[in-house]
Amino acid sequence: MTRSVEFKVVEFAVIHTRADAVRNFVADLKNLRYWDASTESVRLVRASDSTSGSPDVYDVSVDFAPFGGCCLCLPTSGATHLLYEVTGGTPLVMKGTGSGVRTLETYTFRSVGPKTTEMTYVVRVNLTGWRTFFATCIERRTRYLARSALRRLSRFW
């Protein structure tokens, strides 16, 4: 049986622009490098097709190593490739799949004024194989990166 570990991270941000503008910006993963420092590259693999209902699919390369790591988790450093499916609708949902890792990311956007948005970010991460031995460190990094990314996103406007 394959070992599996799951964890969940929830973070919040207040962004001073319209909710639809924030949602559209976040939904286009080509913008990810502007607000997520762990992102090395993003490539659109397949654009969504409204007739079949297929989502946008992106190949995203991330490197968590420089962000909150420790000497015990050096084997987790280096680029990790994830294929992300970005589905439309509310909330915005992104499913990431890579070697030994799966993510389910949910973004909700709530207008609290004409130019103020409250955003909630929830990520569920499932690790398998050797990555499970570093789950505590990976969870710590994920939480740190989520906070950092949302701070950068809120300062973007």
Backbone angles phi, psi at 83, to 5 degrees: -95, 120
As given in the structure block, the two tokens for residue 30 are: 């080509």
- Residues 80-116 pLDDT 10s: 899 999 987 889 999 999 999 999 999 999 999 889 9
Predicted model pTM: 0.89
Cα torsion through 17, 18, 24, 30, rounded to 10 = 0
Tally of structural domains, the chain:
1
- Residues 4-24 pLDDT 10s: 999 999 999 999 999 999 999
> Which ranges of the chain does DSSP label H, i.e. alpha helix?
19-27, 32-35, 135-156
Instruction: Write out the residue range of the structural domain in which residue 45 sits.
Output: 4-156
Any idea what the CATH number is for the domain that residue 108 is in? 3.30.530.20
Q: Which residues are within 8 A (CB) of 41 and not within 5 positions of it... i.e. 6 or more apart?
A: 33, 59, 60, 61
